[in-house]
Amino acid sequence: MSIGTAAAATITVDDDGGADYISIQTAVNNSTDGDTILVYPGTYNENVDVYKQLNITSTGGASVTNVVAASEGDHVFDITADGVSINGFSVSGAGYYKAGIYLQSCSNNILKNNNVENNYYGIYLHYSSKNTLTSNTAANNDDKGIWLHHSDNNVLTDNIAVNNNDIGIFLSSSDNNMLANNNVENNAMESIRLFSSSNNKLINNTAEDNNCGISLSSSDNNVLTDNTAASSNGYGVELYHSSNNTLTDNNVENNVRTGIYLSSSSNNKIYNNFFNNPDNAELDGINTGNIWNSTKAAGTNIAGGPNLGGNYWAKPDGTGFSQTHIASDGDGICDVSYVLDGDNTDYLPLTNITTSDNQSTGNVITVDDSGSANYTSIQAAINAASPGNTILVYPGTYTENVDVNKEVIIKSYSGNPDNTIVKAASSNDHVFYLNADNVTISGLTIKDADADGIRAGEFRGSSGTSNNNTLINNIITGNDFGISLSYSSGNVLDNNSISGNNISIYMGLYSGNNILNNNRVSDGIYLEMSRNNILSNNRVTADDYSYAGILLEFDSTNNTLRNNTILDNNHGIVLENAAYNKLDNNTILNSSVHGIMLDGAYKNKFNNNTIANSSSFGITIYQSVYNMLENNTVLSNGIGIYLNLDSNNNTLTNNIVSDNGDGISLNFHSDNNELTGNTISNNNRGIYVADSVNNMIFNNFFNNSINKEFGTDYDMESDNIWNTTQTARTNIMGGPYLGGNYWATPKGTGFSQTCTDSDGDGICDSAYVLDGNNTDYLPLTEITAPEKKISSSGGGDGFGEATIREPENAIDNATMSAQDDSKLLSVESIEYSEEGEVETIDEATEEGSGTIPGFSVLPAIGVLLIAYIIHRKKDH
C-alpha cells in the first residue's frame, strides 16, 4: 500500500496478484474515506458494495478492466456512500431487477467512462441526487439503460445508451436534472422518457431509431432545446398529460408515426423547431393554451430565415405546410397561419427564403372598392396576378362573382370579415369558384348566392379540380351551400362561421383528405362519397333546414370525426351506407330524434362519445353490421342504444347507459351482437329484447328497477347467451372470474345483491333464470376483499421480507398492514412482484405509524412477494 497524503491512501488491486489486494471488495473493506483504489486490467468476478467515500479507478480503462457479477442476484456495484467515483470499468452480469451500477440514497458521486452492458438495468439511481454521469455507455441491458427514480439535481452528459430492451434513459419522479449531449439510439422503447418528472433540462441530445424519441408523461416545466428526435417507429416527441414545457430549436425528422404527439397536454411552448415527418403533429384529447410561436422578432430561425416566429413544417415528399406556403414580403414567415386543430395554431409558421421566392412572390396586389388601391374588384386583381401573389382586400363591400383560376392568397387587409364583404352579383351563381390549387381565402364575409358561397372543383358539369386550398376565418352566410367541395382534396377549412345557408359544408364526389377544424356551423356538414377526411373541434347547431348535424352517406369511408360538439339537430350524426369511419370524443346533445343513427352502415368505430337528451334515441343501429361502440356515455335519451332490423354482429363494450327509457333495446332480427362490460343503470328498463337471438350478453352491470324484459308479440322467441365460460380474469365488479352479468336494483333487491356465494369466487351459487329461453348461468356477485396481516421480519439492520400466498378467491384492493405494537416502524416503500412484473407502490404513511397503506394487488391470484423497507426509529 502506498501513501498518497496524510489524509488519503492509494490502494492497488490486481486479480493476478502483485498488488495490495486481488479483489475490489477487499480493497473497499480495508480502505478509509477519501482513499483511491487503483484497479489494474483483468476480470473481477465479484459484487462490490461501496459504503465509503472512495475513488475507484481502473488503470487501463473499460476495455481491459471487467467487473462481472459473482452473483447475478445482486448489483455489480452497489453504492450507498456519498462522494464516490467509479471510473473506467466494464460492468456486467447483474440479473433480474439488479443493476450494473446502483446508487441508493447517496449524493455527489461521479460515474465516468464506464461500459455498463448485459445487466438487467444498466445504471440505476434510486433516491440519489447531485451525482454526475459522464461518458458512460449503457448498452445491451435487459431493461433500462440509465434509470433515475426519485433522484434530483443530477447531471448526465456525453453518455451513450444503445440497444437496451426497454428505455434508453428513464427519469421517474425525478426533478431538476440536466441531460446534455447524450446519444440514445436503437432502444426497444423510448430513447428518453420522463414520467412524473419536472424542471429537467434536455439539451443537445440525440434520440434516434427507437420506438419513440423523447416522451414526457405527467411531466411539467421541462425544457427541451437543440435535441434531435429522429427515425423512431412511433412519435418523435410525445407529451402525454404534460404541461408548461418548453420545446425550442429541436430537429424532429423522419419519424414513422408522427413528429410530435400531444394528449391532454396544455400550456406548452413549442416554437422554432424543425419538423420533417410524413405526419408532423397528432393531437388527442384536450390540448389548450399551447403556444406554437414566439412573438415575431429579428433573429436567425431554425430554417435560416431572418425572423423568429413559429416552427418549420416540412414533409419528406416536399408537401409540408412550410414548403408549400410563401412569405410574400420575404420575412421568412408564411403569409397564413398553420392550424393544427381548433385549439392549436402556429400563427407564424416558418418558410424558406430563396431568390426565386422573392422574385415570384414579392408582388402584393391591393383591392379597394373606393378606388385608392391597385384595383377596385377582386376579379380584376386575380386576372392581373401571377401565381403565388397575395391579394389584399381593403374594407368595403364587393359585389361580384369571383373565379379563381390561379394560385393566389386572397385575404382581408383588416383580418376582420365583418368589414370586408363579398356578395354575389348574380344571385344564382357562386360568390367564389376555385378552379386552381393552393388558393387561400381568409378574413372575408361571403354571402347571398343561390348557389355556393365557395365552391372548389367540379362545377355545373365542368371537369375542374381544386386541391390543397385554405379557407380560414371567414363568415359565410345566406347561400345555398356555404362551402361545396367536389373532386377536391387536401383542403383546410378552419375557424369559419357558416350559418344561414341551406347546407353549411358539402363534400362530395370523392373529395378526400380534407381537414375541417374549429368551424362554427348551423346548417349541417354533409359528406357524400368522400373519404379520409378529418372533422375536429367543430360546433354544429341546427336551423330550420338541416336534416342532420353531420351526415356521412353513399360510400363515405375512413373519415375521422373527433372532438366535435353537435347541438339541437333533428339527428346529431348520421351514417348511411358508410363504412370504416371513426368517431371519437364527440358530444351530441338535444337531438329531436337520433343522437347518432347508423343506417346500412358497417365496420365503423365509436369511442368515448357522449350522447345525451335525445328525445327519441341516443344511438340507433338500423340494418347495420360489424360496428363497434366502446366507452361511450349515453344519458337521458328516450332509448339509449337501439338495434333494429337485421343489425347483426355489432360490438358494444364498456359503455355507460344511464337515465334513459330503455337502456339497450334489441329488436327484429338483431342477432349475434356482443354486449360486454357495459354499465346499464337508472333506466326504466335495463335491456329489452324482442325477436333477436344468439346475442352474447355478459360481464355487464345492470342496476335498474326493471333490468330485463322480453317481447311477446313476435313469431320468434328470443334465445340469447347471458354468460361466457367461467374464466380467470377480472370482471366488471372486480372479481377474479368472468361469467355472467351483475344484476342489481336501486332498492338492493337484485339477484346479484341477494344471492349466496359459498366459495367466495364472485359467482352466485345458482343460475338466474330471466325467462323460459334466457338464463344467466353464472351471475356475478360482489366479494369482500380479505384483510391480510404481515408481521415485520426485520432485524437490527432494519430490512425485512414476507411472502404471502393469496387464496384463489382473492381480489384486488386487498389491505396490507404492518403490525408493530411498539410503533417503532416507519415504512418507506413497498414493491410487489409476480411473474416478472415489479412496480413501486406509493410512499407509506408518516414515520412511526407502523402501517403499510392500502394498495392494489394485481394479479390477485398466485404467490406475491411483498418487499418492504422498514426504518426502526431506534436504529435510524
Segment 652-699, tens digit of pLDDT: 999 999 999 999 999 999 999 999 999 999 999 999 999 999 999 999
Euclidean distance between CA atoms 761 and 782, whole angstroms = 9
DSSP string, 341-400: ETTEEESS-B----HHHHHHH--EEEE-TTS-SSBSSHHHHHHHPPTT-EEEE-SEEEE-
Per-residue model confidence (pLDDT) at position 855: 40
Residue 851's pLDDT band, with cuts at 50, 70 and 90, is: very low
Domain boundary among 188, 211, 230: 188
Amino acid identity, residue 830?
Answer: I
User: Average pLDDT, stretch 759-784?
Assistant: 94
Q: What is the mean pLDDT of residues 278-294?
A: 94
Q: Is the pLDDT of residue 342 over 90?
A: no
My answer on whether 184 and 206 are in the same domain is no
Q: What pLDDT, in 10s, does the model give residues 237-249?
A: 999 999 999 999 9
pLDDT at residue number 355: 34
Question: What predicted TM-score, i.e. pTM, was given to this entire model?
Answer: 0.59
Total residues belonging to the chain: 876
Q: Residue 253: name the closest of 278, 227, 276, 237 by CA.
A: 276
Question: Number of folded domains in the chain?
Answer: 3
Instruction: Please check whether residue 31 lies inside any domain of the structure.
Output: yes
249 and 355 share a domain? yes
Give the range among 55-69, 127-141, 508-522, 672-686 with minimum mean pLDDT.
508-522
DSSP tag of 419: G
Same domain, 210 and 129: no
Q: Which pLDDT does position 243 carry in this prediction?
A: 97
Contact partners, residue 837, CB within 8 Å, separation at least 6: none
DSSP code of 474?
Answer: -
Distance CA 236, CA 189 (A): 12
pLDDT reported for residue 806? 38
Residue of 458, 436, 433 whose CA lies nearest to 446: 433
Please tell me whether residues 824 and 863 are part of one structural domain.
Answer: yes
Q: Is residue 798 part of a domain?
A: yes
Residue 84 lies in a domain: yes
In the predicted model, is pLDDT for residue 330 greater than 70?
A: yes
Are residue 117 and residue 172 in the same domain, yes or no?
yes
Q: Among 380, 437, 384, 440, which Cα is nearest to 409's?
A: 440
Same domain, 74 and 137: yes
Quick check: 146 and 161 in contact, CB under 8 A? Answer: yes
Contacts of 359 (CB under 8 A, 6+ apart): none
For residues 157 and 178, give the distance between their C-alpha atoms in angstroms, rounded to a whole number: 8
Average pLDDT score, the chain: 87
Cα 55 → chain centroid:
45
d(CA 88, CA 59): 8
Query: Are residue 107 and residue 76 in the same domain, yes or no?
Result: yes
Q: With bands split at pLDDT 50, 70 and 90, how would you rate the model's confidence at 603?
A: very high
Domain boundary among 360, 387, 416: 360
Query: For the residues 127-146, what does the mean pLDDT come to?
Result: 98
Burial of residue 233, with CB atoms counted within 10 A of its CB: 0-12 exposed, 13-18 middle, 19 or more buried: exposed
pLDDT of residue 360: 32
d(CA 657, CA 702): 10
Q: Tell me which residue of 303, 254, 262 sits closest to 281, measured CA to CA.
A: 262
Q: Which amino acid is at 822?
A: S
For range 834-859, the mean pLDDT: 38
pLDDT for 2 beyond 50? no
What mean pLDDT comes out for the span 725-749?
Answer: 97
Give the whole-angstrom CA distance, residue 821 versus residue 176: 40
Look up residue 4 and give its DSSP letter: -
Please give the single-letter amino acid code of residue 334. Answer: C
pLDDT of res. 713: 56
Q: Per-residue pLDDT tens for 455-513?
A: 998 755 556 789 999 999 999 999 999 999 999 999 999 989 999 999 999 998 889 99
Question: Which helix (H) or strand (E) segment is 324 a member of?
Answer: helix 321-324
Burial class (CB in 10 A: 0-12, 13-18, 19+), 630: middle
Closest-CA residue to 124 (of 151, 157, 101, 153): 101
664 touches 686 (CB < 8 A): yes
DSSP characters over 264-279: S--S-EEES-EEESSS
- Give the model's pLDDT for residue 853: 42
Amino acid at 741: N
DSSP string spanning 36-55?
EEEE-SEEEE--EEE-S--E
User: Does position 797 have pLDDT exceeding 60, yes or no?
Assistant: no
What's the CA gap between 790 and 832, in Å, rounded?
Answer: 14
Least confident of 284-288, 418-422, 676-680: 284-288
Question: What is the rounded radius of gyration, in angstroms, for the C-alpha atoms of the chain?
Answer: 34
Domain-embedded: residue 184: yes
Considering the domain architecture, whether residues 10 and 125 belong to the same structural domain is answered as yes
- Looking at residue 621, the DSSP 8-state letter turns out to be E
451 domain-assigned:
no
Report the pLDDT averaged over residues 133-161.
98
What pLDDT was estimated at residue 377?
Answer: 97
pLDDT at 113 over 50: yes
Is position 162 within any domain? yes
Q: Which of 526-535, 735-744, 854-863 has the lowest mean pLDDT?
A: 854-863
Let me know whether 152 and 294 are in one domain: no
Across the range 46-50, mean pLDDT stands at 98
Q: Is 70 exceeded by the pLDDT of residue 819?
A: no
Give the phi and the psi of residue 26 in degrees, each rounded to 5. Answer: -65, -40
Chosen domain end from 188, 223, 244: 188
Tell me: do 306 and 174 sit in the same domain: no
What pLDDT score does 546 carry?
Answer: 67
Looking at residue 846, its pLDDT comes to 35
pLDDT for the residue numbered 246 = 98
Tell me if 815 is assigned to some domain: yes
Point out the least confidently predicted range of 85-94, 317-326, 755-764.
Answer: 317-326
Is 638's pLDDT higher than 60? Answer: yes
- CATH number for the domain that contains residue 73: 2.160.20.10
Phi, psi of 25 (to 5 degrees): -60, -40
Q: Are residues 36 and 64 in the same domain?
A: yes
Residue 788's beta-bridge partner residues?
816
Query: Residue 637 and residue 746: Cα distance in Å, rounded?
Result: 20
Q: Is residue 449 one of the residues assigned to a domain?
A: no
pLDDT value, residue 415: 79
Q: List residues bridging with 67 in a β-sheet.
A: 44, 91
CB 292 within 8 A of CB 266: no
CA distance 872 to 797: 9
Which cell numbers in the block locate residue 49? 458494495
Going by pLDDT thresholds of 50, 70 and 90, the confidence category of residue 714 is low
789-798 long-range Cβ contacts below 8 angstroms, 24+ apart: 789/817, 789/819, 790/816, 790/817, 790/818, 790/819, 790/852, 790/866, 791/818, 791/819, 792/818, 792/819, 792/820, 792/825, 792/870, 794/870, 794/872, 796/875, 797/875, 798/869, 798/870, 798/871, 798/872, 798/875
pLDDT at 794 over 70: no
Number of Cα atoms under 13 Å in the Cβ half of residue 720:
30
Dump pLDDT digits (tens) for 361-401. 347 899 999 988 999 999 999 999 999 899 999 999 999 99
Q: Which domain holds residue 254?
A: 202-360
Can you tell me the distance from the alpha carbon of 262 to that of 287, in angstroms, rounded to the nearest whole number?
7
- Are 125 and 231 in a shared domain? no
